[in-house]
Amino acid sequence: MTKIIGLTGGIGSGKTTIANYFKSKGIPVYIADDEAKNILQTKEVQLEIRTVFGNTVFSDDKVDKNKLAEFVFSNPEKLKILNSIIHPKVKNHFDNWVEKQQNFPFVIKEAAILFESGSYKLCDKIITIVVPLDERIQRVIHRDTTSYENVMRRINNQWTDEQRMSKSDYIIYNSDLEIAKKQANSILKILKNQ
Find the CATH number of the domain harbouring 95: 3.40.50.300
User: Coil, strand, or helix at residue 128?
Assistant: strand
pLDDT digits (tens, 9 = 90+) for 129-171: 999 999 999 999 999 888 999 899 999 989 999 999 999 999 9
Residue 178: which pLDDT band, with cuts at 50, 70 and 90? Answer: very high
pLDDT digits (tens, 9 = 90+) for 15-43: 999 999 999 999 999 999 999 999 998 99
Residue 14: which pLDDT band, with cuts at 50, 70 and 90? Answer: very high
Which of 90, 73, 75 has the alpha carbon at shortest distance from 37? 90
Average of pLDDT values for 66-84? 88
pTM summary value: 0.92
Q: Is residue 105 part of a domain?
A: yes
Whether the CB-CB separation of 120 and 7 falls below 8 Å is answered with: no
Residue 71: which pLDDT band, with cuts at 50, 70 and 90? Answer: confident
Q: Is residue 43 part of a domain?
A: yes
Percent of the chain with pLDDT over 70: 100
* Structural domain for 78, as ranges: 3-189
Which of 2, 6, 24, 4 has the alpha carbon at shortest distance from 172? 6
Give binding residues as ranges.
Answer: 12-17
Q: Is residue 108 part of a domain?
A: yes
The number of domains in the chain is 1
Q: Is residue 194 part of a domain?
A: no
Whether the CB-CB separation of 147 and 141 falls below 8 Å is answered with: yes
Give, for 130, the enclosing helix (H) or strand (E).
Answer: strand 125-130
pLDDT of residue 67: 87
Give binding residues for ATP as ranges.
Answer: 12-17
Which of 75, 140, 152 has the alpha carbon at shortest distance from 83? 75
pLDDT of residue 1: 84
Q: Is residue 81 part of a domain?
A: yes
Distance in angstroms (rounded) separating the CA atoms of residues 47 and 172: 39
pLDDT over 90 at 89, yes or no: yes
Per-residue three-class SS string for 16-83? HHHHHHHHHCCCCEEEHHHHHHHHHCCHHHHHHHHHHHCHHHEECCEECHHHHHHHHHCCHHHHHHHH
pLDDT over 90 at 93, yes or no: yes
Residue 66: which pLDDT band, with cuts at 50, 70 and 90? Answer: confident
Considering the chain, what is the average pLDDT of its residues? 94
